[in-house]
Structure 1
């Protein structure tokens, strides 16, 4: 058997040691350094790897515009002020309502007379256009009664009493008015058996003359009558309401105002112009 040369065996052993094959070696201590030596380059390789760069810091926030800074720094409305502010719409509504012109309230004889006339409208028409009774509108009532005292007397006594007393006409006698369509006006005054007070009779007569008949309260012809008898400040109306005057005493009580006798019994009327 051929013997393997010593230098070949030594080379083979060194080769195995380099490859980490300790099974073929005679001394275990000789293989360990080779293993450590082989591992050292790997560790060094890992240590030599470059570290990752740290993330860049975010940019600083942009400063707020001046108007935003002002909004953030100005004083806020106190919470208790909100209750007051919530009442502003109500105040505004009431303020606007207060600016609107108030409807003029009619008082005195004309206002009261319009109420009383509701009992007369069935005969004379709601607007005074006539029907069973005579026409008031278009100045007709003013032609029949140029003086308010004569109309008051007729309404108080009724036209039947004129006929029964032999008085041929009421108001302006030149018109010859007495009956109308065969009908006579019923009495309204208390002494004649009616239900109206003398103040109510004056009120309804004022309504018939100025609201229905068309008398112009501002004209020279009717202004004095209106002021004395039918205005809201009428002293005759006040006297009748208080009971300090009656139809039988008005001409005496208001003699300086040239009031004609009214009376509570049928009498001849007064021609126009007197």
Structure 2
């Protein structure tokens, strides 16, 4: 683009001032204005209607002063002036859920250790409670199995030996229907497999319970439900036997099978 010389621009401005299109604000060259004034004075008079056109052009040439914009609302000012979140905060926010998960896991108390009694309680609730009742009341409490509470199981099986484990493992049919099981000298007479005293047959659990589960549920029935009292030495011996049968290594089966 070619630059227009300043004197030509000034001459154009003085000409518009002479025609009345532009008002003189005194910013032009005085000498140029004086030189142009005689020419303006000798200019022909405006034709009829030209004065109105000049007035309209003059009004259009005036620069409109735009009003000042209204001030921003307080919340807009606050949003514009608030501190932005630093970029390094983003990975920290991303890692917060992971940190919270790890924190909760580290503050949780460790699970209770599995013992023969706790394993036996779990197995009993899954496999035995439906027939013998949760408290071992059996048919005396409205269930269908023989009662085990109040020492009843201790009368049938005076000791924790293989006969009790076998009974839980093979059940009534394994012993033989009509055959006596447990202590033959039991007060009131020996119990008969498949007898007619309103008690249901004992199912076999040897296929669904491991050796240590059979042993632990027998301990739970005797020591907790039956109320058997044993010394610390006997309890330690039974714990060792439970571990010898596999207890404590894969005891998280919750009463299930192999």
Question: Smaller-chain TM-score range?
Answer: 0.3 to 0.5
Greater C-alpha Rg:
1
The alignment's TM-score, normalised by the length of structure 2, stands at: 0.43
Using the size of structure 1 for normalisation, the TM-score is 0.41
